[in-house]
Structures are given as C-alpha cells and as structure tokens.
Structure 1
Amino acid sequence: MTRSVKLSRVGTLLADHDYPTTRRDAMDAFDDVTLLFADGQAPMDETLSEVPSDTFDSAEDLEMELYSQLPIEAVGEPGQSEGEG
C-alpha cells in the first residue's frame, strides 16, 4: 500500500522514524511513500537516494537534506515570493 504525504507534512512522517539512521534505512522505511509537491510528486525513497549524507542524527537533519534535493517547483511557482516589503 502506497502512502501519499504532502511536503508540508513530511516532518511529522520523519519524526516517527528511529534515529540515528542511515540513508539506506530511511529509504527502506519510506519506500512506500510518494511526496506530493505544489507542482508534481516524487517517490520519497528515490529522493532520499540523492541526499549527500549517509547518516542522520535526527529527523531535522534528514528533513533538511531531503529538502535540498527537491526541485524548485516542489514548493511553489518558480520566482514566487512570500511577499514584498
């Protein structure tokens, strides 16, 4: 069964995992998760396979590395800002 998780909820999902962990263990734990972006989606395990670190001490560490691998379109329209001024 595949789980779909909005990108805004990925931190909650990662918090339920045991740490420290390895990239391989995280990939195995989340191999049934599809990340839902503002514009598109991606298998979480494939995204995790691209992170540069091999180990993570916390959910926050893993989340930061995961976000670093996402395309700009994952969080909204390119060039979109939270407002000016």
Structure 2
Amino acid sequence: MVDEDLRKILDSNPFDATGGYRSLTYEEVLQELVKHKELLRRKDIHIRELEDYIDNLLVRVMEETPSILRMPYEPSRKAGKFSNS
C-alpha cells in the first residue's frame, strides 16, 4: 500500500523530472537520450558560433572604433539606440 501511495505521489509531482519517462521502455528511454544528446550537441555548436561572432565583432570594434569601448555602460539604454550627446 505504501509503495502504491509513493508511486502516485511521484507520478503526480509536477517537479519530478522523471515522471514523463516512467512509462517508457528501455529502448524508448535510450532513443530520448540520443535525441537529447544530439540537441545538446547542436546547441553547443550554436553557442560556439555565437562566441566566435562576438569575438570577431569585438576585434572589429577595437580596430575601427575603439572609443566606443571607453564609454561607460548604461544598462538603461536600449540596443541600437544612441544618445545625441
């Protein structure tokens, strides 16, 4: 009886990350794992591309307009908008 109650609690817990996998077979869990690993690999590649882009952009700014980097950061500014001062 206690095991059944515990299983009901675990199955109904929205914070339990394993809840959606309990009814899957071993092969289905492996398929999900492979799918998530591929998704993670793609995201890692995308992050690397973005990091490279930012690095190259920063180098271009440092070469072309280094004075822009001397201005203090103002978090209230919106991207793409410059003040007239």
Is TM more than 0.5 here?
no
- Structure 1 or 2: larger strand share? 1
Superposition TM-score, scaled by structure 2 size: 0.21
- Structure 1 or 2: larger helix share? 2
Query: Is the radius of gyration larger for structure 1 or structure 2?
Result: 2
